[in-house]
Amino acid sequence: MCQSCIPRIPENMEKAGLFAQQMITMLNHGALVPMISIGHQTKLFDIMDTLDWSTSVEIAECANLNERYVREWLGAMASGRIVEYNPKANTYYLPPENAIFLTRKSNEKNMSSVASLITVWAGVEEKVTRCFKNGGGVPYSEYNGFHEAMGDLSAANVGKNLTEIILPENQSLFDRLENGISILDIGCGDGQVLLALAQYFPKSKFYGIDLCDAPIKSAQNKARIRCLNNITFKQEDLLAYSPTNKYDLITAFDVIHDLAFPDKVLQLVNNWLNDDGTFLMMDINASSHLENNLENPFAPFLYTASTLHCMTVSLAQGGMGLGTVWGKEKAVEMLKEAGFSNTQVQNFEHDLFNNYYFSSK
What are the mean pLDDT values of the chain's consecutive 10-residue runs (361 residues total)?
A: 71 90 92 94 96 98 97 97 97 96 80 88 95 95 83 70 89 96 95 92 97 92 95 95 95 95 97 97 96 95 95 96 97 98 92 92 92
Buried b (16+ CB within 10 A) or exposed e, 305-326: bbbbbbbbbbbbbebbbbbbbb
Residues 188 and 45 in one domain: no
Answer yes or no: is 315 within a domain.
yes
Nearest to 254 by CA among 198, 191, 188: 188
Nearest to 152 by CA among 113, 178, 125, 108: 113
* Residues ≥6 apart with Cβ < 8 Å to 242: none
Nearest to 251 by CA among 195, 295, 307, 320: 195
Q: Report the alpha-carbon distance of residue 292 to residue 325 in Å, rounded.
A: 11
Residue 25 Cα distances to 21, 22, 82, 164, 254, angstroms: 6, 5, 15, 39, 30
Answer yes or no: is 287 within a domain.
yes
Residues 72 and 36 in one domain: yes
What pLDDT is stored for residue 242 in this prediction?
92
Residue 70 Cα distances to 76, 86, 312, angstroms: 10, 16, 35
Domain count, the chain: 2
Answer yes or no: is 5 within a domain.
no
What pLDDT is stored for residue 149 in this prediction?
77
Residues 213 and 309 in one domain: yes
Residues 56 and 188 in one domain: no
Answer yes or no: is 112 within a domain.
no
Q: What is the pTM of this model?
A: 0.86
Residues 51 and 135 in one domain: no
Residues 148 and 187 in one domain: yes
Residues 151 and 201 in one domain: yes
Residue 342 Cα distances to 175, 182, 185, 332, angstroms: 20, 21, 20, 10
Report the CATH number at residue 36.
Answer: 1.10.10.10
Q: Report the alpha-carbon distance of residue 83 to residue 79 in Å, rounded.
A: 8
Residues 181 and 142 in one domain: yes
In this structure, the dihedral spanned by the alpha carbons of residues 217, 218, 222 and 228, taken in order and rounded to 10 degrees, is: -30
Answer yes or no: is 8 within a domain.
no
What pLDDT is stored for residue 4 in this prediction?
64
Which range of residues forms the domain containing residue 195? 120-360
Residues 185 and 301 in one domain: yes
Residues 90 and 142 in one domain: no
Report the CATH number at residue 335.
Answer: 3.40.50.150
What pLDDT is stored for residue 198 in this prediction?
95
Answer yes or no: is 108 within a domain.
no
Eight-class DSSP state of 306: I
Residues 98 and 141 in one domain: no
Q: Report the alpha-carbon distance of residue 151 to residue 189 in Å, rounded.
A: 7
Answer yes or no: is 113 within a domain.
no
Residues in the chain: 361
What pLDDT is stored for residue 224 in this prediction?
95
What pLDDT is stored for residue 255 in this prediction?
94
Residues 95 and 151 in one domain: no
What pLDDT is stored for residue 107 in this prediction?
64
Answer yes or no: is 325 within a domain.
yes
Within the chain, strands assigned E span 84-86, 91-93, 182-186, 205-210, 231-235, 247-253, 273-284, 342-348, 351-360
